[in-house]
Chain A
Amino acid sequence: MTRAPQAPLLWLDTLWLQVAGTLCNLKCTHCFISCAPDNNQHEMMSLLEVRRHVRDAAALGAREYYFTGGEPFLNRDLLPMIEETLLQGPVTVLTNGLLLDTATCASLRRLADGSESSLDLRISLDGYGPEDHDTIRGPGTFRRAMEGALRLNAAGLNPVITVTEAADGIASGEGRARFLERLRALGLGRPRLKVLPLWRLGAETTRTSGYASEERLTEDDVTRDGLERLQCASGRMATSRGVYVCPLLIDAPEARMGVSLQETLRPFELSHGACVTCYRSGVTCRT
């Protein structure tokens, strides 16, 4: 068998920050890093930590910042983190939407208006309605997520709705059209949509299955262009435990590339099952 290919780091375009660690107010059955109210694997990041990584990234010419978790709005310093980071570039916050009350939405709008750079929010849904979504995310969560999305929209911040392929038929053009229609009917007049594949990691390995040991990329499977399109060719993920190659592999010790961003500016060996999903689907976690 040939060796695993190496993804180059062409340029640090995207810095992910796991601001809430693996702490979440939900316990989704498909979560690729098994986030939960009691998962302390990666702790919350402090404002100081975020500031340090963002400063390092800006010095490297980074283009954009993504805040994720866990649930970012559990971090009480999230708004100052967003405000400071917006001084260095555009920020996208990935959220389950449950903590987006009217006051928070108004604060986010103020931050967006005060910045040259874009502030975007992404809310995850897992189906066309509560019947699918709540099975994965818990009772009542579809309604609450949509309420959060509508409050944001009312504040003038039209969020991107992220939906995983757990939603029936969503990957097809027809499925997308149906989903967009559904979002319009729910009150999002100009719906924005991103479809993500499921990575068979974390909790998802119990819901469906993990990657078989032979599901790995080899040098024969890849092209230079394909490698350069991978998100690990232009991004890194900072958590309270260090800097990882991407947002997906933070449970894999070998995916931790260093303490600071400067230590991670080297190629990464694509030896994980999840690398197959990224490579074959051509998808990135970016919007």
Chain B
Amino acid sequence: MPDLRRAAFFGGVYGNDAALREAIRDARDRGAERLYCLGDLGGFGPHPERILPLLLEHGVIVVQGNYEDAVGNDRPDCGCGYTDPRDNHFARIAYDYTLRRTPSDQKARFRALPASLRLTMGGRRLLLCHGSPRRQNEFLWESTSPAPFLERLLREAAADVLLCTHTGIPWSRTTPSFGQVVNAGVLGRPANDGRTTVSYALLTAEEEHQPLRVEQVPIAYDHEGVARDMRRRGLPEEFVETILTGWWTTCLEILPARERGRGRH
């Protein structure tokens, strides 16, 4: 198990290879010793089939997301955990698109991906997962993940730092007993904040056994090019609008009151 000083953590890539290329370049420039991806390579964006080769080419270590579990096993849906029919309608479009474009050799690799990974940074024990250590498709939102709950997650996972994604909106918190939970956000689409940038989490161990420094690094990329690509491939205008405006137009019902209130729709 490696002990690192600085590492980068990418959330869902969602078929957005342009954003991923920029994030890889940025993380290397900032001196990240290792790069990790927390799963959900496809869905939403135009090029799901390009993501795994790109990650492998750059030595990015990948945790399985619910998308890889679903696509890898040809499951009937993405298993994101939506409950609203409109959310499910758009989730279906994204999933079918991804499933259709994923070659079978990639599916085999998806099945073999680990559901979680462990490493240390400055002596701190990290657990990397997609949704939560309990469930691959559990949403850990900032406003509905209180400290007592996070403390128990960390305790049961025997970890000091928990890294996750799945929700699409980044946040991080240090608990009263100095555990850390970092939701790395996603590279695939903006975070419903009216900005067209996406972001990833950069963690740095400054002192041994002390809380890690967490930076959420914004990434600008050719989002207009991606939007054109999405239109050319017949992806819904609702997805394109999100890429161009930074506001979510789908997956809204799953948002807690606080996060929903911050968005435009």
Contact = CB atoms under 8 A, between A and B. Distances in A.
Do A and B share a complex? yes
Interface of A: 11, 13, 58-64, 88-90, 112, 116-120, 156-158, 160, 173, 176, 190, 192-193
B178 interface: no
Contacts of B257: 112, 118-120, 157-158, 160
B144 interface: yes
23 contacts: A11-B134, A58-B146, A59-B148, A61-B153, A63-B144, A64-B144, A88-B146, A88-B148, A89-B146, A89-B148, A90-B256, A116-B143, A116-B146, A118-B143, A118-B256, A118-B257, A120-B256, A120-B257, A158-B257, A158-B261, A160-B257, A190-B265, A193-B253
B146 A176 contact: no
Nearest to B253: A192
Interface string B151-178: 1110000000000000000000000000
A61 B85 contact: no
Interface string B119-154: 000000000000000100000011111101101110
Q: Is the interface of B mostly helix, strand, loop or mixed?
A: helix
A242 B119 CA distance: 44
Q: Is the interface of A mostly helix, strand, loop or mixed?
A: loop
A192 B260 contact: yes
Interface in B212-245: none
Residue of A62, A89, A112 contacting most chain B CB atoms (<10 Å) = A89
Contacts of B134: 11
A119 B85 CA distance: 24
B209 interface: no
B152 A117 contact: no
Contacts of B253: 192-193
Interface residues of B, number: 22
A94 B84 CA distance: 20
A63 B146 contact: yes
Contacts of B261: 156-158
A61 B143 contact: no
A176 B85 contact: yes
Contact of A61 (B144, B149, B259): B149
B109 interface: no
A173 B134 CA distance: 31
B146 A90 contact: yes
Given A118-B143, A156-B261, 19 more contacts: A58-B148, A63-B144, A63-B145, A89-B144, A89-B146, A89-B149, A90-B143, A116-B142, A116-B143, A118-B144, A118-B259, A120-B256, A120-B257, A158-B257, A160-B257, A176-B85, A190-B260, A190-B265, A192-B260
B148 A117 contact: no
B258 interface: yes
Contacts of A156: 261
B252 to A, nearest CB: 8
B144 A90 contact: yes
B143 A62 contact: no
Contacts of A11: 134, 152
Contacts of A160: 257
Contacts of B84: 193
Contacts of A190: 260, 265
B17 to A, nearest CB: 32
B144 A158 contact: no
Given A116-B143, A117-B143, A117-B144, A62 B265 contact: no
A112 to B, nearest CB: 8
Interface string B93-113: 000000000000000000000
